[in-house]
Amino acid sequence: MSVATHFADEAQQAHAARLGMWVFLASELLLFAGLFALWAGYREHDPAAFAAEVRRTDLALGSANTFVLLTASFAVVAGVRVRRRLGFSVAIGLGLVFLALKAWEWRDHVREGLVPGRDVFWTLYYAATGLHALHVIVGMTVLGSVAAMRRPADHVVENAANYWHLVDVIWLFLWPAFYLARA
Amino acid sequence: MRRAFVAWVALVVLAAISLACSVAGVGGVAVAFGIAAVKAVVVAAVFMELADRPFGLRVVLAVGVAMVALLVGLATADVGTR
């Protein structure tokens, strides 16, 4: 990989790229933190009504997606450490499974009249899961691009993988917020 | 890779425990988010290899997490104490 003129050497360039990615990931956390703050505030306001709406989300599909994303993250690790193209391809496939299950859920909810704007809970549900689904699509695109590269630098592969892991971590918190908090 | 595999098994088991608690009505929101936090630490430490990263990178993430805790915590406290 060529070194840009403002870097002394390849190691410094790689360190800057890694640091930049972590700062970006931290800013992504803050993006979702706004939605979690709204969730926590509204739930605190009326816990019983909020739990009643949580009981209407699809626990089976939401939970299946948790296992899908955890496994996709493991595939990404295998991609970084063993076989990049195979690992990343499996993760992209699991990303597609995640999106298909999510679309199935949304379709069922819309048919029941549970649409954005119905009340605070459902607006938040679609905003949070929609924003997350968008991140899954971006993650799949990033993994696909890096898988297609002939010889990507180590830090490029790691940065792509870490973006995917962050998307996984965010889901780990969306899951209890919108599926598990039923009481 | 062995460590990553053990981490994946641990994550699946933790998710199953979290799901079982929710279905059985045990623990409530605190347990669900507590288990999620443990899973997030496992993903960050093992999958993202944060345990082996330079101090500077870990500080970036720690500041991000602290800001999230501050925002969500104070928003909840604000509503809760009205």
Report pLDDT for B56. Answer: 85
Residue of B nearest to A40 (CA): B76
For residue B53, give every residue at least 6 positions away whose Cβ sits within 8 Å of its Cβ, in sequence order, or none: A18
Chain B 5-34, residues with CB within 8 Å of chain A CB atoms: 5, 7-8, 11-12, 15, 18-19, 21-23, 25, 28-29, 32-33
Q: How far is B79 from chain A (nearest CA, A)?
A: 6
Rg (CA), chain A: 19
Query: Would you call A152 exposed, middle or buried from its count of C-beta atoms within 10 A (0-12, 13-18, 19+)?
Result: middle
Q: pLDDT digit string (tens) for A109-137? A: 999 999 998 889 999 999 999 999 999 99
The pair of three-digit structure tokens given for residue A118, joined into one six-digit string = 């119905």
- Chain B CB contacts of A38 below 8 Å: 75
For residue A130, give every residue at least 6 positions away whose Cβ sits within 8 Å of its Cβ, in sequence order, or none: none
Report pLDDT for A45. Answer: 87
Cβ pair A172:B39 closer than 8 A: yes
Please tell me the distance from the alpha carbon of residue A180 to that of residue B11, in angstroms, as a whole number. 16
Q: pLDDT digit string (tens) for B32-59? A: 999 999 999 999 999 999 888 888 889 9
